[in-house]
Structure 1
Amino acid sequence: MQGLILRNAVKPDAQLAVALTAKSSRDVLGQIGSLMVRLAASDEELRAAQKLRYDIFYREMGASHADPSAMEERDSDRFDAVCDHLLVIDSTLPGSTCDQIVGTYRMLPQDMAGTAGGFYSEDEFELGALVARHTGRRFLELGRSCVLPAYRSKRTIELLWQGIWAYCRRHDIDVMTGCASFPGTVPAAHAEALSFLHHFARAEGAWAVRAHEQRFSTMDLMPAEAVNMKAALAALPPLIKGYLRLGAKFGEGCVVDRDFGTTDVLVVLPVEAISQRYLSHFGAEAERFAA
């Protein structure tokens, strides 16, 4: 989950007001009962999302990334200024909208990645080479996903995907990608799950992508015939399992991120590969918000 060292970095504080001023009620992307998903519409809402990320990544998960924003109990980096920030809001909670944010997901469209000097995941994976092989396709990088413990349910996941799909439709996205994480910094602790992804869900051909050689850790930790499918699927983190069900494939090699205490894999999900079953499930409602 470590950030990219930028070649042409933008300064978040100088960009936030411009990046968020245009947000409005049009940015609502989905709703299920009292839960709504929409884009952050102000600097205040973005800071609330960064505070939520801090609470989960630093307090709950034990991240130790040395960033000045941590002194303010926020998780932020230079990418925040050029990203769209998906918020899950529970309108039944007391307080302002900022007090009602229970989940967030960060989205970096390809055109804005160019402004930032590249994608966040390029620090770990050879994503630039993958994008270069697919000229004319619009990539969207997803990351910094987190939800409060009380809201880690199927309902919230469905709402997030409703919002992501509406966003993809609105912005003509062709490919979704981004890092997803296993807890801990010892890949061998996830030998069966990582081996399953390597043998049975690896991106190949035109979609093949590898971790950078200097950061590469093998996912081929068990022979294919030794992998217990049921056990491997059960051992996958919920987010990775969700991507897999949608039809995603994964890059070759994982990366240990010691700052965040995670083992990262790269998700590759062309829109045409999304399972029709899931499009039928959340896509129809999302179309209402995509216009």
Structure 2
Amino acid sequence: MATAVLLSKGRYQARLARSAKDVAAAQALRTLAFGTKQPDQDDFDTLCAHVLVEDMRSDGQLVCCFRMLTIEDGAEIGCSYSAQYYDLTTLADFSGRMVEMGRFCVHPDWKDPDILRVAWGAMTAYVDQNGVEMLFGCSSFAGTETAEYLDAFAMLRDRHLGPTRWLPRVKAPDVFRFASRLRRRPDAKKAMLRMPPLLRTYLMMGGWVSDHAVVDRHMNTLHVFTGLEIGTIPPARKRLLRAVAG
């Protein structure tokens, strides 16, 4: 099992939540970052481990958080948050331990790119300590309008669709089937500018996405299912992540 402190780098420390107070702080940051009218909390919060990234030069200010749901293999994937929106029966045969990474957010007043690096370093430490073989979750684009993200979706279609054997099927009532319906050659520069930072990091490590995006009006987002098999991460990228995690 992972220790409480996962990583300490420079001014930031990443640790696991240790109390109900810690979880409440993560929920408050999520509510602020996502701009929801109601507190951002659900039943999955009690099932997940929560990672808090704190700025130790600002009295331990919480600047980033995310949660992780660990399942032993694909047979349990129907219990995940993502399974509410995607038909994940194709992943039921995945035989290794899996972690669903969700509710990732950064405090809107903190713009330091090192925060994302520390968060991924903490995730790497957790993955290594717990023998995780796949990360997955929902990667979100802000808003529910597709027009400003067409280049990004075209790039996802051309370069980053998941393997057929794992590809989720449609379940949600409102989806954007970009892989089959989008007729556009992507402008690479525009695509990367509009790609969410978390998703961009997944893709740099060899992650893949579903062939459709879910229109989530409750959260005011478009999201794609994202998977990352740990064994397929390029060796150079693994070394970089482990250097941060170490």
Same fold (TM over 0.5): yes
The one-letter code matched in structure 2 to 1:207 is W
Is 1:267 aligned to residue 232 of structure 2?
no
Partner Cα distance (1:144, 1:213) in 2: 19
Which moves more between the two structures, 110-119 or 197-206? 110-119
What does the per-residue CA deviation read over 1:111-131, in whole Å, with 9 as the maximum and x for residues that have no partner?
49989970001111122x133
Equivalent positions of 1:165-244 (< 5 A) are 165-212=124-171, 214-220=173-179, 221-223=181-183, 226-244=185-203
The one-letter code matched in structure 1 to 2:48 is C
SS in 2 for 1:44: helix
Select which of 116, 125, 140 maps to 2:99.
Answer: 140
Select which of 38, 41, 50 maps to 2:27.
Answer: 50
Partner Cα distance (2:62, 2:75) in 1: 29
**Residue of structure 2 equivalent to 1:102:** 63
Which moves more between the two structures, 232-241 or 136-145? 232-241
**Residue of structure 2 equivalent to 1:39:** 16
Equivalent positions of 1:58-77 (< 5 A) are 58=35, 63-64=36-37, 70=38, 74-77=39-42
Partner Cα distance (1:101, 1:240) in 2: 22
State the shift of 1:153 in Å. 2.7
Point out where structure 2 has 5 or more consecutive residues left out of the alignment.
none
SS in 2 for 1:207: coil
Equivalent positions of 1:72-83 (< 5 A) are 74-83=39-48
Gap change, CA 1:237 and 1:50, over 3 Å in 2? same
Is 1:161 aligned to residue 120 of structure 2?
yes
Partner Cα distance (2:70, 2:126) in 1: 10
- 8 Å contact 1:187–1:219 — kept in the other structure? no
Q: Percent identity?
A: 29
Of Structure 1 and Structure 2, the greater strand share is in 2
Partner Cα distance (2:148, 2:177) in 1: 13
What does the per-residue CA deviation read over 1:147-168, in whole Å, with 9 as the maximum and x for residues that have no partner?
1134333211110011001111
Partner Cα distance (1:101, 1:113) in 2: 33
SS in 1 for 2:178: coil
Count of equivalent residues? 245
The one-letter code matched in structure 2 to 1:130 is T
Which 4+ stretches in 1 moved above 4 angstroms? Answer: 111-117
- 8 Å contact 1:192–1:222 — kept in the other structure? no
Is 1:27 aligned to residue 4 of structure 2?
yes
Partner Cα distance (2:13, 2:74) in 1: 27
Superposition RMSD on alpha carbons, in Å? 2.3
Partner Cα distance (1:285, 1:254) in 2: 32
SS in 1 for 2:40: coil
**Residue of structure 1 equivalent to 2:240:** 281
Which one has the largest radius of gyration?
1
- 8 Å contact 1:113–1:119 — kept in the other structure? no
Partner Cα distance (1:205, 1:275) in 2: 21
- 8 Å contact 2:72–2:96 — kept in the other structure? no
Query: TM-score of the superposition, structure 1-length normalised?
Result: 0.77
What does the per-residue CA deviation read over 1:67-115, in whole Å, with 9 as the maximum and x for residues that have no partner?
xxx3xxx321000001000000112223xx5xx2111011111149989
Gap change, CA 1:214 and 1:44, over 3 Å in 2? same
State the shift of 1:229 in Å. 2.0
Of Structure 1 and Structure 2, the greater helix share is in 1
Is 1:122 aligned to residue 83 of structure 2?
yes
Query: TM-score of the superposition, structure 2-length normalised?
Result: 0.91
Is 1:86 aligned to residue 51 of structure 2?
yes
The one-letter code matched in structure 2 to 1:46 is V
